[in-house]
Structure 1
């Protein structure tokens, strides 16, 4: 059984309650159509289960298949340096159908980032390293495609819909 390596730390992007009974880690790629499909379901899980859930996102850009996956991850990380990782994360998935190089600056403006700062940060080595560390973590954790989910540190065998179903059943 595959387990999450390394464990969640303050380097991760987390949403929700630190005391939540269920922690879901998603390894995702902003250009992956399956991740795009999973996005609204993950939103629904967060709305339905509220404080019971803590959600963590780690980058797993399949750069060979998706030319904008890595730059999109960079955009999310650069937004994160201005405290708006989740806003950019959401905007990228909501605009996935039109991912291109121009989109990143447009979204940065839309979510209210300092554009010059965003562009400077987007070029930083630290950000590229963070994405590579996330990717390595996926490889070490046994990720073989996106999206991949880990529930309380253990790989979940299935997609977002299966995850939602499992959570609903365990809540009953």
Structure 2
């Protein structure tokens, strides 16, 4: 059975030109962005739990790290995997939807060799947990994320709090 992953959404993104984000945000200076009600057009058509799965876009680096005998080379490849998560966010200004408490997202990518499950484990503060298992028992990747964003007028402060652990099992 062949799997066909889509490269684009079936409908075009709604134009944000008719909305002024600054008129909304200037009233919210110093507030945490998770508490600000934003028009839906500023959201991406996915939830934060789905966005967590984007950490696994470069799974080939974990598989490579598992096959390397030298610990320094393994650490270099794992570091490359750790920073690769930001590659999918380049020039993306949309905010993912906040998941409901207890909401889950599950993804199995047999061709990439992993299974992921994520869950919203706390509503306030918002905390998302995830667990990824290698289908070949090569690695486990798990953690919890507590994103904290504040708007300061001319800048946005993003603090991705949480813990992530990658275990190479072999």
Which one has more relative contact order, counting CA pairs under 8 Å at least 6 apart?
Answer: 1
TM-score band by shorter chain is under 0.3
TM, length-normalised to structure 2: 0.28
Higher share of residues assigned strand:
2
TM, length-normalised to structure 1: 0.27
